[in-house]
Structure 1
Amino acid sequence: MSPRKVTPSLRLDSDPSSRTGSGAGQLSKVRWSVVFDEVELTAAEISKLAKEARPLVRSGGKWVAVEHADLEAAAAALEERAATDQLTGAEMLRYALGLEGTPLAGGVQIQGASWATDLLRTAQEMGGEPATTPDGFVGELRSYQREALAWLGFLDAAGLGGCLALDMGLGKTPTMLSHLLAAHTRAREAGEDPAPALVVAPPAVVTNWAGEAAKFTPGLRVLVHHGARRASAAEL
């Protein structure tokens, strides 16, 4: 018997055949279970194990002891979620990120095909590596700007919005311009027409935005719809 202690986690399985809608609002039927090491247990199996004097599960060819306290916590977690048999993609994502909380040390594992699992897989494939400065960008992005650029690209690919929050003077405008340039490049490489982007800014910074675009991304066509010389309807 293995002396090591196993860490329980909740498992959330989504039924791909039950999906309705798309994106964060995609609704799926779900099933809850608990995983001890590599062993998945239902509520009934946990109840049976809890009655044994020394509960054991077989994992990786070895018998592993399970703590009664962990079984009690697992049973309580499943009972608490017994009535939750449908979740949206956004709700599943909140569970996966630990935002809904769980009494089990191993957190929540998401299984099955769903918007949330696809999103998490994409995030893992990113690997957290900073993006490279896109071709056509005049200047050099700092490491934290390239990290932000990678994050913005991930949000774009996932169809999500986000907030780039940095202190003033740390280069949010060049970072966003590099993101727009990278998006244009990806569209052209895919044989598509680049989609326009609308920048809504206070009047005091409109001129600065246009100037920064001309400086860092001269290949992007920028039209200013403000003041007496605002772009005409034909230009837009």
Structure 2
Amino acid sequence: MGTPLDSREAQADEVIDRLDAEYPDATISLDFSNRFELLVAVILSAQCTDERVNDTTRDLFAQYESPEAFANAPQDELAEALNSITYYNNKASYIRESAQLIVDEHEGKVPDSMGELTELPGVGRKTANVVLQHGHDVVEGIVVDTHVQRLTRRLGLTDEERPERIEEDLMEFIPEERWRAFTHLFIAHGRATCTARNPDCEDCVLEDICPSSKLDSPIDRASGEEWT
């Protein structure tokens, strides 16, 4: 078991510094060419890999080139175009309804505020934060996806379980100028090393400060269960 630093602030600073050195090019991995495509891609990415989303949107964005096109698409036709995506029927509905609201209430433009974005079907704080950060260059919070949720608990940065509460917790002690990078670094590390099952603690740059390291401890801080 590694030894975390004395405070969550110090722990977070050290973690971010080390991950920044390890993954200097970490950034968003979804493909998009405008704000609406970004919104669609992030909605599709829920419980689905970015690779699968990018494979799907390559043809999707060629077929539907505007919010109007998505809003006017028949539900069954759009669902069929998304059938390789998890929960494609629900996501097709979210996208069509969001596109219609954007056309009707926002002059065809993706909103630039948290409040307006989270009024769109299928859009929570995580999706809204991504769209704001990468579509509008506005940082209002920290994107908490499954990697961030898992790693922050393993590293002792939060004891919260729900993404919204984790975000609130992290925003209290992580400097705002590091909020955007924080997510990308944690996603990169979650994919490469600190995976959900069988994390590679031996080769982890955070092992000596990670309270959940399985090298000396069989307990997974995130689940309370033994490592397998």
TM-score by length of 2: 0.29
Larger CA Rg, structure 1 vs 2: 1
Structure number with the higher helix fraction is: 2
The structure with more strand, counted as a fraction of residues:
1
Normalised by the size of structure 1, how large is the TM-score?
0.28
